[in-house]
């Protein structure tokens, strides 16, 4: 949508609605207000995904989506990520550069359902895809596998509609099991995991992938 049209309709991008150049302070009103807007975006998106989940279960007798989780990134994680990326610690930079402040994770049973879900998300009216990363067909070096989408979700307030970024991770139950385990073991610690364990984790990821492929074939 063109910029002048955005103004006419009272639609604003999050970064313009709250164009704060101030430094981030975790326990202030400003920080809380921003986080509440991200929470609203999660609620909007989750409602739409839950509708799809129910539709498939009730009308097609098919468990397309096993479960949906969501979270708001913790302030210290946001700040650490900004430091790693070399961002200035302002609200403006935070909104612009941190794509996963609001996160929704969709977990399914079958590998090919990941792409069915992706296509359904693309069709939800008002949801705009900003960026996608296919770690399913192209797993990370760590072995990590998931489909990532950064979408913009419209949050309707009394005077305007704000477009808010949300990261969606779509993965199978097996991928989810691996990622949670690996996250606990290595992702969040500052310590480097030794080479042997790292290799072992990559091997487990390959086993998970084989299993996902076999289960998918069995179902087909
Ligand atoms: P947390 O604690 O899960 O929130 P971008 O700016 O979007 O281009 P970003 O955010 O690094 O760069 O993108 P990417 O690669 O899509 O990763 C975002 C999230 O994916 C991570 O968020 C993790 O949740 C997950 N992820 C990515 N790589 C791995 C991995 O190797 N192992 C596991 N277990 N999870 C991974 P955070 O903020 O890093 O962590």
- The SS3 of residue 117 is helix
Q: Give residue-wise pLDDT tens across range 121-169.
A: 999 999 999 999 999 999 999 999 999 999 999 999 888 899 999 999 9
What confidence category does residue 175 fall into, taking pLDDT thresholds of 50, 70 and 90?
very high
* Alpha-carbon gap, residue 60 to 121, rounded angstroms: 18
> 102 C-alpha to center of ligand 1: Å?
12
Mutate to test the pocket of ligand 1, among 76, 100, 105 (most ligand atoms within 8 A of CB): 100
Which residue in this structure is represented by tokens 């650490």? 80
Name the DSSP letter for residue 189.
-
Mean pLDDT of the chain: 89
What mean pLDDT is predicted for residues 198-207?
94
Question: Is 80 exceeded by the pLDDT of residue 115?
Answer: yes
Give every CB contact of residue 95 below 8 A, 6+ residues apart in sequence. 14, 15, 18, 34, 101, 165
Question: Is 60 exceeded by the pLDDT of residue 215?
Answer: yes
Domains recognised in the chain with CATH numbers: 10-173 (3.30.460.10)
Integer CA distances (angstroms), 207 to 54, 63, 145, 175, in order = 31, 24, 12, 10
> 39 C-alpha to center of ligand 1: Å?
19
Helices (H) and strands (E) in the chain, counts: 8, 6
- Bridge partners for 156 per DSSP: 161
What mean pLDDT is predicted for residues 109-124?
98
- Parallel/antiparallel/unpaired status of strands 102-108 and 67-72: antiparallel
Q: How confident is the model at residue 5, as a pLDDT?
A: 41
Helix (H) or strand (E) holding 154: strand 147-156
Q: What percent of the chain has pLDDT over 90?
A: 73
């Amino acid at each position: 949508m063109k910029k002048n049209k955005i103004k006419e309709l009272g639609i604003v991008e999050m970064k313009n609605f709250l164009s704060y150049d101030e430094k981030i302070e975790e326990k202030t009103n400003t920080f809380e207000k921003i986080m509440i807007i991200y929470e609203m975006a999660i609620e909007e998106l989750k409602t739409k995904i839950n509708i799809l989940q129910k539709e498939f279960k009730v009308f097609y007798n098919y468990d397309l989506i096993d479960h949906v989780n969501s979270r708001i990134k913790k302030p210290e994680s946001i700040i650490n990520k900004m430091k790693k990326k070399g961002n200035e610690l302002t609200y403006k930079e935070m909104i612009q550069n941190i794509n996963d402040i609001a996160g929704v994770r969709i977990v399914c049973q079958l590998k090919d359902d990941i792409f069915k879900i992706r296509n359904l998300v693309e069709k939800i009216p008002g949801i705009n895809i900003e960026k996608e990363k296919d770690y399913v067909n192209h797993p990370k070096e760590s072995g990590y596998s998931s489909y990532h989408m950064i979408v913009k979700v419209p949050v309707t307030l009394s005077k305007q509609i704000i477009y808010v970024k949300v990261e969606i991770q779509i993965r199978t139950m097996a991928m989810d099991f691996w990622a949670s385990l690996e996250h606990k073991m290595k992702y969040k610690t500052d310590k480097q995991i030794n080479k042997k364990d790292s290799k072992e984790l990559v091997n487990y990821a390959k086993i998970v992938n084989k299993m996902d492929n076999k289960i998918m074939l069995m179902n087909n």
